[in-house]
Amino acid sequence: MSHCTSSVDGIVGAYTGSSFAVQASTASLLGCALYSALELIVLVFSVFHVYRGLYFWSLLISASLGVIPDALGLIIKYFELSTMIWLPVTLSTAGWCIMVTGQSLVLYSRLHLVVMNRKVLNCILGMIIFDAIAMQIPQIIASYGAVYVCHLQFTKFFNIWEKVQLTVFFMQEIIISGVFIVQTLRLLRSYPTRSKRKTNIMYQLLTINAAIIIMDIALLILEYMGFFITQTVLKCFFYTVKLKLEIAVLSRLASFVKSHPDQDSSGLSQLHS
């Protein structure tokens, strides 16, 4: 199958500038993302003593099948390490799809700690599934269309859809994090006598959700300013940061869940304390 020989905006365009700082920062951030993803895989298997549950699988798959392919695809694309354009397109597109949905499932899987309303949980899960299908199928079509059809309309559609889907996934994570923050604050107010340790855990989770929102806002600003390479590289790096923030509180989260077993339905009780 033939493909466009000229660089296509966004999806297959390599970095053509001469700035060593851009090249070095791109390589460094993607290298850090790869290392962090491999480290996350090891940490997940060491933190969980039973390998099951949505929390375990969403963390593992986000790192192994999300971040790693995305980072490799971006490295191959931006540094022109292969003449097979389909390779970086496939790796980065598939990696992004798995990474973004996996991160949302990580956030969803610990909502059970603070949200008791099954309808709310089902609505949020439905939103994640709907957005994954509605946003990512057109993205995949646009990606390969921009590469192989060689038509300006596909390139324009890709560049527009990139902004649309990033905005939608930003809103999705805002909603999930927002629900968690609101419900956590309600719990903290409702149980003022809660132990200091448990209160600290809740505040740490609040901080993680706030950090996720800040990183998402930064990515959205870069996207709409037209800094595509910077945005895609930072996106891959930021998602490893998000996952490592989760790992940072896992052991403390385990003790919280074990004291509230009725609130766990995602395998959080399978953590080492």
pLDDT in tens, 34-89: 999 999 999 999 888 888 889 899 999 999 999 999 999 999 988 888 888 889 99
Is the residue at 271 inside a domain?
no
Cα distance from N-terminal residue to C-terminal residue, the chain: 53
CATH number of 153's domain: 1.20.1070
Lowest mean pLDDT among 100-104, 135-139, 197-201: 197-201
pLDDT digits (tens, 9 = 90+) for 188-203: 777 666 677 777 777 8
Q: For position 273, what pLDDT does the model report?
A: 44
pLDDT at 184 over 90: no
**6, part of any domain:** no
Q: Residue 15: inside a domain, yes or no? A: no
- Residues above pLDDT 90, as percent of the chain: 47
Q: Which residue has the tokens 């869940």?
A: 257
- Per residue in 1-28, pLDDT tens? 445 544 445 565 667 667 788 889 999 9
Q: Which phi and psi (to 5°) does residue 271 adopt?
A: -80, 150
- Please compute Rg for the chain using Cα positions: 20
Domain contains 273: no
What is the pLDDT at residue 239?
95
Check pLDDT > 50 for residue 118: yes
pLDDT score, position 111 = 87
85 exposure class (CB count in 10 Å sphere: 0-12, 13-18, 19+): buried
Domain membership of residue 58 as a residue range: 20-261
Confidence of residue 217 (pLDDT cuts 50, 70, 90): very high
pLDDT at 212 over 50: yes
Q: How confident is the model at residue 181 (pLDDT cuts 50, 70, 90)?
A: confident
Each residue's pLDDT tens digit, 224-264: 998 888 899 999 999 999 999 888 776 666 656 555 555 55
| Span 211-233, average pLDDT | 91
Residue listed under structure tokens 């970095």: 15
The answer to whether 67 and 95 have CB atoms below 8 angstroms apart is yes
pLDDT of residue 27: 93
Indicate whether 272 belongs to any domain.
Answer: no
Residue 126 lies in a domain: yes
Measured in residues, the chain has a length of 273
**Model pTM score:** 0.86
Query: Does residue 2 lie within any of the structural domains?
Result: no
**DSSP 8-state symbol, 80:** T
What gap in Å lies between CA 109 and CA 125, rounded to an integer? 9
Cβ-based burial of 77 (10 A; exposed 0-12, middle 13-18, buried ≥19): buried
Mean pLDDT of the chain: 84
Let me know if residue 11 belongs to a domain. Answer: no
CA distance 221 to 158: 18
Rounded Cα–Cα distance for residues 103 and 215 (Å): 13
Q: Average pLDDT in the 118-147 region?
A: 93
Question: In total, how many domains does the chain have?
Answer: 1
**Residue 149 binned pLDDT confidence (cut-offs 50, 70, 90):** confident
